[in-house]
Amino acid sequence: MLSEARNKTLTQVGAGTPMGDYLRRFWHPIAGAAEFDEKSVKAIRLMGEDLTLYKDLSGTYGLVDRHCPHRRADLSFGYVEDVGIRCNYHGWRMDETGACVEQPFEETYNPKGKLKDRCAITAYPVREVAGLLFAYMGPAPVPQLPIWEPFTWAHGFIEVITADVPCNWFQCQENSCDPVHFEWMHDNWSVRQNGELGPYAPKHFQVAFDEFEYGFTYRRRREGQEETDPMWTTGRVALWPNGFYLGGHFEWRVPVDDENTLSVAWFFTRLPIESEPIAPQKSFWWQAPIKDAHGQWIASHVMNQDIVAWVGQGRIADRSKENLGASDRGIAMIRNRFFEEIEAVASGAEAKGVIRDEQTAQCPKLPIATVELFRDGLPRRDYLASKWFGPRIHDFRWHAGQPEHVRDAFRRAVLGEEYEGLIEALKAADKARGD
């Protein structure tokens, strides 16, 4: 159990709080680049700060204070220029550094005035990698942005999926070091949702947790698995400080404020050999729903099931009422590491996993179980017959709400235009089952 005070240390993310200041030392994914294919400005809230994310006409991204320094108009209603964003109220223009670069009337009235010099606003650097937009909100010097190895893979279908989760980030992240929940939430609960009483999934009988440079790994064995199984020899990665890596995709739990989280997921689905080459690789972005049209929580897909569990713990989980067991060793490990890290950084130490060397950041490797499944191609016939890729043609199992145009694009990438008749038949099947 944790005291109320220690629970606050883990969950409060505003500027000036121990965890808020710690998390600001890392780059965080905040949006999909494809989100800006049809718009240029977006209001966004991150770690308790109200901000405006934009892409100007030159293609430069900016993340600045939500409010214009003139009379505090909302810059998310502004419009972009060749450089920066212009306030729609009186035309003041800000660039990506937060500098005020134009004040139309003031410059006309007093060309030699220096009002602009004292009108800078908060601004944070933004970088695009692999279809994701990352922001850094911490102190200088800015660390390197890791270009994780999967971001360099070729011939894949890339999706960036965001979801708004109404609870604290830390109960989402603890899920990343909790292997046993797969058995009950994603396997057995799904069986019961299908109206069946069984059979239940193989039980976990052995779990292990290990720390490494970029986070923690969990390893597990279930009934029927040998010690040579990659889920035991390699496992999965709880990526420090707020990520999860499973081989074919990443998930991040980005704090919006103390009671809300932005879930950001990056999926790479390797395409069949016949679909090569895929260059340049296009990314797709979509916002995933967490409730259906009747206001009921969606619990049919993997990440939606996770969200139900997280939100069910309350806006901020009360850890003083917990009773941890043997399966929770990974949970205890990451909590203890955060307490140690917060104290160490306050004393001047470097935060765990921060990369300063440019070369190291270019392709840091993470433990990957069955890497060939995610990275290497299969002939189309084997691809469609595989237990991993075959079902992907029919449904995206991780998040509900995949848009029809994204699903169509994936099917065309896998099957090719020569299978247009099959693609139309699959679309008809989607409609018949209500997708």
pLDDT attached to residue 419: 77
Tell the burial category of 419 from Cβ atoms under 10 Å away from its Cβ (0-12, 13-18, 19+). Answer: middle
d(CA 298, CA 371) in angstroms, rounded, equals 31
d(CA 83, CA 89) in angstroms, rounded, equals 18
Tell the burial category of 273 from Cβ atoms under 10 Å away from its Cβ (0-12, 13-18, 19+). Answer: middle
The answer to whether the CB of 60 falls within 8 A of the CB of 96 is: yes
Tell the burial category of 211 from Cβ atoms under 10 Å away from its Cβ (0-12, 13-18, 19+). Answer: middle
The domain boundary residue, chosen from 136, 170, 201? 136
Same domain, 222 and 300: yes
Same domain, 284 and 371: yes
Same domain, 100 and 223: no
Kindly state the tokens that stand for 308: 């139900």
The answer to whether the CB of 255 falls within 8 A of the CB of 47 is: yes
Sequence-distant (6+) residues with CB within 8 A of 329 are: 207, 209
The domain boundary residue, chosen from 136, 170, 203? 136
Q: Tell me, yes or no, whether 408 lies in a domain.
A: no
Q: Tell me, yes or no, whether 420 lies in a domain.
A: no
Same domain, 246 and 302: yes
d(CA 98, CA 126) in angstroms, rounded, equals 12
Same domain, 106 and 249: no
The answer to whether the CB of 135 falls within 8 A of the CB of 27 is: yes
Domain count, the chain: 2
Ordered DSSP codes for 7-53: HHHHH--STTSHHHHHHTTSEEEEEEGGGGGS-SEEEEEETTEEEEE
Q: Tell me, yes or no, whether 248 lies in a domain.
A: yes
Phi and psi at 144, nearest 5°, equal -70, 145
Ordered DSSP codes for 372-406: HHHHS---HHHHHHSTTTGGGGT--SSSS---HHH
Same domain, 131 and 184: no
Same domain, 90 and 173: no
Q: In a 3-state reduction of DSSP, which class is residue 92?
A: coil
Q: Do strands 126-129 and 123-124 pair parallel, antiparallel, or not at all (unpaired)? A: unpaired
Q: Tell me, yes or no, whether 229 lies in a domain.
A: yes
The answer to whether the CB of 143 falls within 8 A of the CB of 136 is: yes
pTM above 0.85, yes or no: yes
pLDDT attached to residue 417: 74
Sequence-distant (6+) residues with CB within 8 A of 149 are: 363, 364, 365, 366, 368
Ordered DSSP codes for 260-286: EEEEEEEEEEEPPGGG----SPPEEEE
> Residue 33 is part of which domain span?
27-136
Same domain, 235 and 332: yes
Residue-level pLDDT, tens digit, the chain, 435 residues = 799 999 999 999 999 999 999 999 999 999 999 999 999 999 999 999 999 999 999 999 999 999 999 999 999 999 999 999 999 999 999 999 999 999 999 999 999 989 999 999 999 999 999 999 999 999 999 999 999 999 999 999 999 999 999 999 999 999 999 999 999 999 999 999 999 999 999 999 999 999 999 999 999 999 999 999 999 999 999 999 999 999 999 999 999 999 999 999 999 999 999 998 776 678 999 999 999 999 999 999 999 999 999 999 999 999 999 999 999 999 999 999 999 999 999 999 999 999 999 999 999 999 999 999 999 999 999 999 999 999 999 999 999 999 999 999 999 999 987 777 887 888 888 887 776
The domain boundary residue, chosen from 136, 161, 193? 136
Long-range contacts of 79-87 (CB under 8 A, 24+ apart): 79/40, 79/41, 80/40, 80/41, 80/54, 80/55, 80/56, 81/56, 81/57, 82/56, 82/57, 82/58, 83/56, 83/58, 84/56, 85/41, 85/52, 85/54, 85/56
Q: Tell me, yes or no, whether 76 lies in a domain.
A: yes
CA atoms within 13 A on the CB side of 121: 28
**Where residue 51 sits, what CATH number does that domain have?**
2.102.10.10
d(CA 316, CA 80) in angstroms, rounded, equals 37
Q: Tell me, yes or no, whether 8 lies in a domain.
A: no
d(CA 186, CA 164) in angstroms, rounded, equals 20
pLDDT attached to residue 279: 62
Q: How many helices (H) and strands (E) does the chain have?
A: 14, 19
Q: What is the DSSP letter of 329?
A: H
**Where residue 377 sits, what CATH number does that domain have?**
3.90.380
Same domain, 339 and 206: yes
d(CA 290, CA 161) in angstroms, rounded, equals 12
Q: Tell me, yes or no, whether 154 lies in a domain.
A: yes
Residues in the chain: 435
pLDDT attached to residue 432: 79
Phi and psi at 262, nearest 5°, equal -95, 115
Q: Tell me, yes or no, whether 414 lies in a domain.
A: no
The answer to whether the CB of 201 falls within 8 A of the CB of 183 is: yes
Same domain, 219 and 81: no
